[in-house]
Amino acid sequence: MSDHSRYSSPLTSRYASPEMAYNFSDDKKFGTWRQLWVTLAKAEHQLGLKDVTSEAIAEMEANIAPIDYVLAAEEEKKRRHDVMAHVHTFGVAAPKAAGIIHLGATSCYVTDNSELIMMRDGLEILLGKLAGVVTVLANFADEHKNLPTLGFTHFQPAQLTTVGKRATLWLQELLMDLRNISRARADLRFRGVKGTTGTQASFLALFDNNHEQVEKLDELVTEMSGFPGAYPVTGQTYTRKVDLDVLNALSSFGATAHKIATDIRLLAHLKEIEEPFEKDQIGSSAMAYKRNPMRSERVCSLARHLVVLVGNAQQTAATQWLERTLDDSANRRISIPEAFLTADILLSLLQNIFSGMVVYPAIIARRISQELPFMATENVIMAMVKRGGDRQVCHEHIRVLSHQSAARVKQQGLENDLIERIRNEPYFAPVLPDLDKLIDPSTFVGRAPQQVEKFLKVDVKQALEPYKERLAKLQHVELNV
């Protein structure tokens, strides 16, 4: 059967980065199983188990790859047990070690520990990419910190902000995601060697009831596998609340990505900001003029998938029976890799978008000119009062002129001419010399530029400090589709 005649997940075939796709590949998974068997044998040998010889270990190490997947598939079909199928396959490749591979261990020694390794490595990939996304967006915020733009509440015109300040709202959520994912990574531990129901009974038998040796074995395997510590107690599996903890952080990032991409889609509709658009890109098969925000739409689409995946982890963690039940297995084979793959894709998309985001100051200024006259009326009133005018009289003049201009905008579809009406009204002659200053958009943004500067200098800089080396290698992300 050809590759095109069977289903292939678009997460790997269409979108995912090579590094994340490899992290959840069969080669990584089963290669990690073999490495875990080598690690266990080394630790057992080091602690004096005579049956585990250096020759056997050397042969195992020499045959971690390649893996005979055909033989493994035949064995699994016969034995109905994936771990034992790979134990047998590894034993065929390393016959001197066949009798000691998996010695004292239960299946979860390789399945759970390999999944923790893949999640650890996956989180490291995500953290580096998320730091890169934050860096690119921070540069955008800094570049546009002074550019006034119409703010929106309820997607209705509100007081002015700046393009850069709006970007810091996105940045702040991404920093929360960086913190959440970093914390989940820091909390991740190893299952270690705990035996069939977590009591380490099989290892206690191997070491002739020597509790200290069993504890040392657990510590050695954990250390050799690159973890600072193991979960102190487990059932047959590590608690599935660990998966929930990790997927909570990834799901939360999915919500952030969706919010940011939605904002960009709204701004694209207003023609104020556009995502990158390639020279030969086609926006619509029918409407040749269209420049659809397809990357942001893809972010929203995939983010929804990521957001809901945490529901699987919630239900799995809630329904585990006593020391374990196997109704978690098939679900986790899908939900955990897909959560990581989807988060990885979203980060690649966001970095690509932020790296080439286009701002249209003329469109932004025009929209401000349509709304600012109404917002500026209070400034005009206060200026008239300072020059001896009566506030109530001034308010009435403004009210009449505002209604006339609003009717022109709403009923005739014409431009807002309130400022011109004020210029032509003799009553306002005392403030005409200062009128341009009174309606200057930059005076309506408050401390937005200063807020951006401080946020970038303090919060963003501090959050990115642990990723300086990785950020030095930051590259532009090209998308396949």
Residues identified as active-site: 154, 284
Angle subtended by helix axes 163-187 and 241-269, to nearest 10: 170
Q: What is the 3-state secondary structure (H, E, C) of the chain?
A: CCHHHCCCCHHHHHHCCHHHHHHCCHHHHHHHHHHHHHHHHHHHHHCCCCCCCHHHHHHHHHCCCCCCHHHHHHHHHHHCCHHHHHHHHHHHHCHHHCCCCCCCCCHHHHHHHHHHHHHHHHHHHHHHHHHHHHHHHHHHHHHCCCCEEEEEECCEEEEEEEHHHHHHHHHHHHHHHHHHHHHHHHHCCECCCCCCCCCCHHHHHHCCCCHHHHHHHHHHHHHHCCCCCECCCCCCCCCCHHHHHHHHHHHHHHHHHHHHHHHHHHHHHCCCEECCCCCCCCCCCCCCCCCCCHHHHHHHHHHHHHHHHHHHHHHHHHCCCCCCCHHHHHHHHHHHHHHHHHHHHHHHHHHHHHHCCEECHHHHHHHHHHHHHHHHHHHHHHHHHHCCCCHHHHHHHHHHHHHHHHHHHHHHCCCCCHHHHHHHCHHHHHHHHHHHHHCCHHHHCCCHHHHHHHHHHHHHHHHHHHHHHHHCCCCCCCCCC
The candidate with the shortest Cα–Cα distance to 316, out of 335, 301, 298, 289, is 335
Residue 249 gets the label, from left (phi > 0), alpha (psi -120 to 50) or beta, of alpha
CA diameter of the chain = 105
Please give the C-alpha separations between residue 161 and each of 145, 218, 240, 250, in angstroms, as whole numbers: 9, 57, 45, 30
